[in-house]
């Protein structure tokens, strides 16, 4: 089993390296260029030329790529082209914010989705199943900014219960931070719940029809034991894979929520940087996102292998 | 009273789901005949009230909201069907291939998908855009490709579990060929999670189309699509206007309808398996 | 009509706009808004204001050469001073230059600098600092002010507190150039922009670009009638709904760029006020005069009569602005040509111009983008719809927001973009319409225009300059390839307890001077 996990790890590292090439190439392909995006309608040929020179855009891409990789290997993310700040110092607090919000939302969404998924599977066709189903479907039919606006309108503006701005500062303490980020957290939970819930329900239901479960039922085992011991481990593969996807989404895909709630996370930084063609920042964000995604999927693969008795047996 | 379809009894929710879908299809097909005004025709002030001529009021540019919804449905439903089907064709076939054949094909496909998933969507879209330009077909292919990675992972992980099952081993032992195993053993057993996934992907697509419009991809003005309508109207939620809820509600209702039918299909399958 | 119109000096401007709209505003029941009733209360010292602002990005820096948008501009005016201030009606007022005058011919200007003003590091402001600061924007520089400073030939120290600036070409309105928000005064040799040193009312305490900025006052401000606040906290809020929600729910005291659609919502709130500033910002549909079919003057006329300006103003901007007449001088400007007949929506006339041009079947590709400005796509869509009745066949193309300024603007034949106002009328006219000017969007090339422009530049007497500027408006309106449908007002929203946020004819938040002008009531 260790060999398989080791192989997966090597593959993940290789993927990350390939991702770095694609990310660099992708940033090279951004329409327009940095100089034009910064100056907008203040741009003249002279100011553009000067800015391009300042930004070393006159060197060939391969030279800049090798330079970038070399620095990356030394943990140096470079300096922002637009404001000349050190990219690592610029990113660090925002990365912490992104991880905080993603963890906050995941801690609520994953147990809720698993719990509701099991309950709806157990009580298939009953009212609780239908309510959870329709409710979660409605929630994902609305885009996140729409849910966010609705939540702000009702909870912040009309009722005045919660703050509409999640403008946390690095020195904000945990208590106030949890309150400030409550609305973005709820929005993200609503956006990711349905997918995980439905996958749990479906996977468990389809396993329940299998002969070995029927055997267990005939043996007279209690239902919770059948589900937790027999059904869940066998249904885990698709559930874990969907959870990994959604966790990845919580890290990389929350730009809209960050914008609406003015939450200083990594997504907003990257969109800003793309807009201004601040290549080192885009590349650094891209690498962080890639690492997060590949890491989560590696984890999902490992859990699938460890949890699935057949795969485990085969690899021993 | 019971309704049957293909010899199977429809329960209430499934019937409701079918009714919703059929209504949408009907409205979409006959939109030009049903819409009281033109798609781009400006008939009054922005956010005009509901009255006899404008059953749902007017939109942000003073166009008839009902007409926009009808025409928008035509575009949105068509796009979503095209994108979701293409996405499943790509995702399911490559997922099954990876799981059943395994070896280097599995390795290459997995790495490729990991790669696509791992780089931010924005950058990925730029790469595609710079290669293909930006018209509606590119939009369909782009979204289908991006979404197919998720379908691939799901298909593969489900199929991997099945490959090791006794009945597949048995089929192999019987000397059945690859395609037979795929079609007769793997696909039918992997269908449940895929049907559920289809219902969800279908509705995500509406919003994805709108999300890409800022890149210049997507439906060009003045044509309507539901995703862009939700996006364009969202900021008047503050004003307490009903309008933003209409396109969003239209998407939500269709999503619920499609998923009711998907649930019914799941139950059918489970029942038939149970009987077998 | 309510009792809200207490805008004092700007009342006349508001009234003129109301008249220009034919009273449509009043009839449609929109709130009439002026500056706050706070102008009737005397300013109070102390307090920290919380501002929610659009116009900030993670790429912002405090280096004045890099300023492009509202947040850095407001920060710049909080930390530094300029030599000349742009007054509410766009007339140049003394700031760090106590007085200024032109030598005859307007090719040489003398600026007498204020004595006894010190920087935040204790150093006294003098001629060397002024020269160093201005030279940051000359020669090889990425400064946004490089273009307006190109006309400067030399800057000489003519005394400890006096500089003399000589120009390449005469400019009777040169002090207006020095009101540019890039041209901030810093100590000689200063280059560490993470710790900016200036003569402004505040110093920077924390700066997270694109997120927040915290400023505080550490000493008495050298202007007795400004600088009341103890400090300020600026939160960058790009989303207009989020900005409004934060204001209404009380997390923020004042916001810029209120969405015109939601002004009625603020008017309903008992605690909030909207400050409305008629100004020079305008969208422009630029048609290149040297490319078919826009090289045909009759076709350009058809385009001008085929757009419903009133509808655009009403639908996209809730009527909060004024109708444009295809030249860049706003009706709120003292130089506005009132005698020029207003071009109105006239489908029949447009059709006859089309027939005359022989281009009735011509399709026009209009390029637009959300990256140009918020509402640019909607504006093109409305243009297209109104064009249908006039026989115009406009195909709207939504271009990617990203790359719009590099790939589409200045490149396409018919592009929707915008112009921000300029502190002087001559500058506004020259920047976009002089033959061969880099930003001459419509490729307008007219020796008559250039001649009048040069005459206006050399004319120091405003009375004699006025008719020249009016002539130029007429030339552009009739001949250039610019369709300028409307001028949009800047809208700031704030709590009633905030005072000092007064309308300004150039830009939002008192032309960026909110940190020195605003104060907090009890």
- The DSSP secondary-structure symbol of C87 reads P
Q: Where are the beta strands (DSSP E) in C385-442?
A: 393-398, 414-419
Reported as a single tens digit per residue, the pLDDT across C243-295 is: 999 999 999 999 999 999 888 888 888 899 999 999 999 999 999 999 989 99
Nearest to A50 among C59, C141, C405 (CB): C141
Of the candidates C182, C108, C333, B191, the residue with the CA atom closest to the CA atom of residue A205: B191
Per-residue pLDDT of chain B (276 residues), as tens digits, is: 456 666 677 788 889 999 999 999 999 999 999 999 998 888 888 888 888 889 898 998 999 999 999 999 988 898 889 999 999 999 999 998 898 888 889 888 988 888 888 877 777 777 777 667 667 788 888 889 988 998 998 888 888 877 777 777 787 778 777 778 777 777 877 787 788 788 878 878 877 777 776 666 778 888 888 888 888 888 788 887 778 889 988 988 998 898 888 888 877 766 665 443
C201: Cβ contacts below 8 Å, ≥ 6 apart: C78, C217, C221, C223, C226, C227, C229, C515, C516
Two structure tokens written together for B220: 């060009």
pLDDT band at A45 (very low <50, low <70, confident <90, very high): low
- Nearest Cα residue in chain A from C419: A41
Q: Ramachandran region of residue C344, left (φ > 0), alpha (ψ -120 to 50) or beta?
A: beta
pLDDT score of A69 more than 70: yes
B248, B252, A140, A131: CA torsion to nearest 10: 140
C60–A83 C-beta distance less than 8 A: yes
Which band of pLDDT confidence, cut at 50, 70 and 90, is reported for residue A75? Answer: confident
- The Cα of C316 is separated from the nearest Cα of chain B by a number of Å equal to 7
Q: What is the mean pLDDT of chain C?
A: 89
Q: Is A33 on the interface with C (CB under 8 A)?
A: yes
- CB-CB under 8 Å, A276 with C68: no
- Contact list in C for residue B42 (CB cut-off 8 A) is 311, 382, 385-386
Q: How near does any CA of chain A get to the CA of B42, in Å?
A: 26
The Cα of B237 is separated from the nearest Cα of chain C by a number of Å equal to 9
Which residues of chain B are within 8 Å of residue C241 when distances are taken between CB atoms?
Answer: 234-235, 237-238
Q: Which residue of chain B is at minimal alpha-carbon distance from A301? A: B157
**Interatomic CA distance for residues C66 and C82, integer angstroms:** 16
Nearest CA in chain A to C147: A44
Domains in chain C (CATH in brackets) are 10-26+47-79+200-278+490-520 (3.40.190.10), 84-177 (3.90.76.10), 282-488 (3.10.105.10)
Interface of A with B in 73-92 (CB under 8 A): none
Residues in A closer than 8 angstroms to C57, CB to CB, are 272, 275-276
| Over residues A100-105, mean pLDDT | 95
Contact predicate A195/A244, CB 8 Å: no
Question: Which chain C residues have a beta carbon less than 8 Å from that of B217?
Answer: 400
Q: Does A223 touch chain C (CB under 8 A)?
A: no
Closest CA to A124 of B12, B267, C286: B267
Give the ipTM of the model, two decimals please. Answer: 0.83
Report yes or no: C406 at the A interface, CB cutoff 8 Å: yes
Q: Which of A41, A161, A265, A285 to mutate to test the interface with C (most CBs of C within 10 A)?
A: A41
Among chain C residues, CA nearest to A41:
C405
Q: CB distance from C191 to chain A under 8 Å?
A: no
Read off the pTM: 0.85
Domains delineated in chain B:
11-38+55-275 (1.10.3720.10)
Cα separation, C421 vs C417, whole angstroms? 13
Contact C402 B215 (CB under 8 A): yes
pLDDT tens per residue, range A141-168: 788 888 898 899 999 988 989 999 998 8
Q: Could you say which of A41, A90, A259 has the minimum Cβ distance to residue C238?
A: A259
Question: How far off is chain B from C379, nearest CA to CA, in Å?
Answer: 9
**Domains of chain A and CATH, by start:** 34-76 (no CATH), 87-315 (1.10.3720.10)
Alpha carbon distances (Å) from C16 to C10, C33, C274, C423:
10, 14, 18, 21
Report yes or no: C409 and C359 within 8 Å, Cβ to Cβ.
Answer: no
Are residues A87 and A281 in contact, defined by beta-carbon separation less than 8 angstroms?
Answer: yes
């Amino acid at each position: 089993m260790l060999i398989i996990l080791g192989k997966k790890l090597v593959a993940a590292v290789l993927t990350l390296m390939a991702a770095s090439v694609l990310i660099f190439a992708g940033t090279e392909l951004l329409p327009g260029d940095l100089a034009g995006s910064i100056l907008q309608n203040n741009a003249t040929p002279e100011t553009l030329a000067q800015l391009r020179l300042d930004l070393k855009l006159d060197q060939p891409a391969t030279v800049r790529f090798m330079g970038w990789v070399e620095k990356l290997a030394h943990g140096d993310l470079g300096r922002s082209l637009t404001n000349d700040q050190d990219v690592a110092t610029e990113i660090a607090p925002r990365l912490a914010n992104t991880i905080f919000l993603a963890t906050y939302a995941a801690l609520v969404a994953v147990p809720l989705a698993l719990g509701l998924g099991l309950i709806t599977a157990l009580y298939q066709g009953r009212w609780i199943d239908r309510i959870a189903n329709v409710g979660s479907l409605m929630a994902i039919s609305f885009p996140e900014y729409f849910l966010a606006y609705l939540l702000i309108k009702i909870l912040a503006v009309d009722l005045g219960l919660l703050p509409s701005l999640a403008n946390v500062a690095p020195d904000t303490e945990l208590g106030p931070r949890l309150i400030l980020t409550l609305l973005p957290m709820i929005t993200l939970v609503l956006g990711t719940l349905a997918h995980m819930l439905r996958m749990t329900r479906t996977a468990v239901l389809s396993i329940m029809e299998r002969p070995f479960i029927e055997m267990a039922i005939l043996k007279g085992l209690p239902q919770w034991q059948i589900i937790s011991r027999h059904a869940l481990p066998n249904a885990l593969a698709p559930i874990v894979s969907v959870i990994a996807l959604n966790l990845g989404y919580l890290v990389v895909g929350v730009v809209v929520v960050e914008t609406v709630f003015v939450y200083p996370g990594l997504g907003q930084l990257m969109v800003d940087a793309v807009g201004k063609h601040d290549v080192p920042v885009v590349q650094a964000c891209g690498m962080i996102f890639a690492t997060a995604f590949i890491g989560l999927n590696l984890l999902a693969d490992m859990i699938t292998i460890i949890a699935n008795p057949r795969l485990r047996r085969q690899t021993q | 009273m019971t309704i049957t379809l293909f010899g199977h009894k429809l329960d209430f929710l499934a019937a409701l789901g079918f009714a919703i879908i059929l209504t949408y299809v009907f409205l979409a097909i006959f939109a030009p005949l049903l819409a009281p005004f033109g798609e781009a025709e400006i008939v009054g002030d922005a956010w005009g009230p509901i009255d006899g001529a404008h059953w749902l009021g007017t939109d942000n540019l003073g166009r008839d909201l009902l007409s926009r919804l009808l025409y928008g449905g035509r575009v949105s439903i068509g796009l979503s069907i095209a994108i979701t089907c293409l996405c499943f064709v790509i995702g399911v076939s490559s997922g099954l291939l990876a799981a059943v054949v395994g070896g280097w094909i599995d390795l290459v496909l997995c790495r490729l998908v990991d790669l696509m998933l791992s780089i931010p969507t924005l950058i990925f879209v730029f790469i595609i855009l710079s290669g293909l330009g930006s018209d509606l077909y590119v939009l369909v292919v782009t979204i289908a490709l991006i979404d197919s990675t998720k379908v691939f992972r799901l298909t593969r992980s489900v199929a991997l579990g099945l490959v090791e099952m006794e009945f597949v081993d048995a089929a192999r032992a019987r000397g059945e060929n690859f395609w037979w195993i795929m079609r007769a053993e793997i696909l039918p057993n992997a269908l449940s999670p895929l049907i559920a996934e289809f219902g969800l992907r279908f509705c995500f697509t509406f919003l994805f189309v709108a999300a890409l419009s800022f890149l210049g991809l997507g439906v060009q003005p003045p044509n309507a699509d539901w995703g862009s309508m939700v996006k364009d109207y969202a900021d008047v939620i503050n004003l307490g206007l009903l309008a933003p809820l209409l396109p969003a509600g239209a998407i939500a209702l269709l999503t619920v309808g499609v998923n009711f039918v998907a649930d019914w299909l799941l139950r059918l399958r489970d029942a038939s398996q149970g009987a077998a | 009509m309510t009792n809200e119109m207490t805008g004092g000096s700007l009342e006349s401007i508001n009234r003129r706009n109301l008249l220009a709209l034919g009273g449509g505003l009043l009839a449609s029941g929109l709130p009439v808004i002026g500056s706050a009733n706070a102008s009737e209360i005397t300013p109070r010292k102390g307090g920290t204001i919380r501002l929610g602002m659009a116009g900030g990005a993670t790429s912002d820096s405090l280096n004045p050469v890099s300023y492009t948008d509202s947040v850095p501009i407001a920060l710049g005016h909080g930390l530094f001073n300029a030599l000349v201030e742009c007054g509410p009606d766009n007339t140049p007022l003394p700031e760090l230059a106590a007085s200024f005058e032109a030598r005859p011919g307007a090719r040489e200007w003398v600026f007498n600098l204020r004595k006894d003003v010190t920087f935040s590091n204790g150093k006294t402001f003098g001629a060397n600092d002024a020269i160093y600061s201005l030279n940051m924007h000359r020669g090889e520089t990425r400064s946004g002010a490089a273009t307006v400073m190109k006309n400067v030939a030399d800057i000489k120290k003519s005394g400890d507190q006096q500089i003399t600036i000589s120009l390449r070409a005469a400019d009777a309105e040169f002090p207006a150039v020095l009101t540019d928000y890039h041209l901030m005064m810093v100590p000689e040799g200063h280059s560490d922009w993470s710790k900016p040193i200036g003569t402004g009312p505040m110093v920077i305490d924390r700066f997270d670009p694109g997120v927040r900025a915290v400023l505080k006052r550490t000493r008495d401000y050298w202007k007795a009638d400004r600088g009341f606040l103890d400090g300020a906290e600026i939160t960058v809020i790009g989303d207009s709904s989020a900005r409004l929600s934060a204001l209404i729910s009380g997390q923020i005291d004042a916001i810029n760029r209120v969405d015109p659609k939601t002004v009625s919502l603020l008017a309903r709130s008992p605690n909030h006020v909207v400050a409305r500033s008629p100004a020079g910002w305008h969208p422009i549909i630029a048609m290149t005069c040297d490319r078919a079919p826009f090289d045909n003057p009759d076709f350009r006329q058809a385009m001008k009569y085929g757009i419903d300006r009133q509808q655009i103003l009403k639908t996209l901007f809730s009527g909060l602005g004024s109708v444009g007449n295809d030249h860049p001088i706003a009706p709120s400007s003292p130089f506005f040509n009132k005698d020029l007949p207003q071009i109105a929506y006239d489908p029949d006339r447009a059709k006859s111009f089309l027939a005359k041009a022989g281009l009735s079947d011509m399709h026009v590709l209009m390029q637009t983008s959300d990256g140009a400005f918020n509402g640019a796509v909607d504006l093109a869509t409305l243009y297209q719809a109104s064009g249908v009745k006039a026989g115009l066949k406009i195909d709207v193309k939504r271009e990617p927001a990203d790359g719009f300024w590099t790939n589409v603007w200045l490149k396409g034949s018919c592009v929707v973009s915008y112009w921000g106002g300029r502190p002087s009328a001559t500058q506004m006219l020259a920047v976009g319409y002089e033959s061969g000017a880099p930003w001459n969007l419509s490729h307008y090339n007219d020796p008559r225009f250039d001649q009048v422009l040069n005459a206006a530049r050399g004319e120091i007497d405003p009375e004699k300059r006025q008719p020249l500027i009016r002539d130029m408006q007429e030339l552009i309106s009739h001949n250039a390839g610019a369709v300028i449908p409307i001028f949009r007002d800047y809208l700031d929203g704030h709590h009633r307890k905030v005072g000092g946020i007064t309308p300004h004819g150039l830009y939002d938040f008192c032309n960026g001077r909110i940190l020195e002008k605003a104060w907090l009531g009890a």
